[in-house]
Amino acid sequence: MEFKTMQIGEKEAGEIISEIYDNSGYDFFQYSAPSLIRRFQRYIDLKSISSLDELFTLIGSEPEKMNEFIEEITVNVTEMFRDPYFFKIIRQALMTELYDKSPLKIWHAGCSTGEEVYSMAIILKEKNLLKNSIIYATDINQSVLDIAKNGAYSLENINQYEKNYTDSEASENLNAYYEVKNGEVVFNTELREKIIFSTHNLVSDSVFNKFDIIVCRNVLIYFNKELQNTVLQTFYDSLNPDGFLALGSKESLLFSPINQLMDEYNGQFKIWKKKG
């Protein structure tokens, strides 16, 4: 008889979400159901799991197994200078709108493994703003934060990173900011020391500082509408007057209560400015 993994529907997904919450405290109740179902199914197929009992026994056996499961179902896709023209707009905004801010505070929410955080630090360095800046980089997933803290990435991606950097109207060569060690690209200590990495749960954690730029790209699409609005309100409350909010290409403020409180700065790259 051919072995078949279990199939996840909304009922099963609800039970898994409850199990995660009861055993780890991570709250996925307001995440988009179709997105979670796809990610649960991928993990179950990968592990050849035939029942919920088998899944719960696996992820409940030791903390590392639960962490592995959380890591699998949280999306961690990023790269240096992803969407180069977005970073071109950020360069312009820093020079025309934020140059005199001191300290300049930036929050990368849902920073994943940190490539875009280092991209921001490089831009600040090139605009002579890094020394007066603080970058907060947060994520729910401690494993990806550990990667980000180290600032070391696979050498195989560097050609794409170089191209993205050049397309963002770079003024230097990207290799000025890293060394190659043991087949990895390791970014300079000067960049890393201006970044504060910390766990932060957008679902349950609240305002912790005031920022001039908040970057949260392609995270909200995994939340339902109610949670999106809650998180967007947190971002609004975390912004200084005239501060900038940057979202992902498929995200919008259109149906959010904060929409009337923000001015569109760049519609194509989903950047808004808080009204002063």
Band (21; pLDDT cuts 50, 70, 90) = confident
Give the pLDDT confidence score for residue 28 in this predicted structure: 83
* Contact residues for 14 (Cβ-Cβ < 8 A; gap 6+): none
* Contact residues for 1 (Cβ-Cβ < 8 A; gap 6+): none
Cα–Cα separations (whole angstroms), residue 156 to 102, 185, 203: 37, 9, 34
For 224-233, letters b (16+ CB in 10 Å) and e give eeebbbebbb
Query: The whole model's pTM is what?
Result: 0.85
Give the pLDDT confidence score for residue 31 in this predicted structure: 80
Q: Above 60 in pLDDT, residue 1?
A: no
Mean pLDDT of the chain: 91
Q: pLDDT for 214-243, tens place per residue?
A: 999 988 888 888 999 999 999 999 999 999
Give the pLDDT confidence score for residue 255 in this predicted structure: 86
* Contact residues for 24 (Cβ-Cβ < 8 A; gap 6+): 66, 70
Q: pLDDT for 178-208, tens place per residue?
A: 999 998 999 999 999 999 999 998 888 889 9
Band (8; pLDDT cuts 50, 70, 90) = very high
How long, in residues, is the chain?
276
Q: What is the mean pLDDT of residues 58-62?
A: 88
At 61 the three-state DSSP class reads coil
Q: Above 80 in pLDDT, residue 74?
A: no
Q: Give the phi and the psi of residue 84 in degrees, each rounded to 5.
A: -55, -35
Band (75; pLDDT cuts 50, 70, 90) = low
Q: pLDDT for 79-95, tens place per residue?
A: 999 999 999 999 988 88
Q: Above 90 in pLDDT, residue 274?
A: yes
* Contact residues for 245 (Cβ-Cβ < 8 A; gap 6+): 213, 214, 216, 235, 236, 239, 253, 262, 271, 272, 273, 274
Which of the 8 DSSP states describes residue 31? B
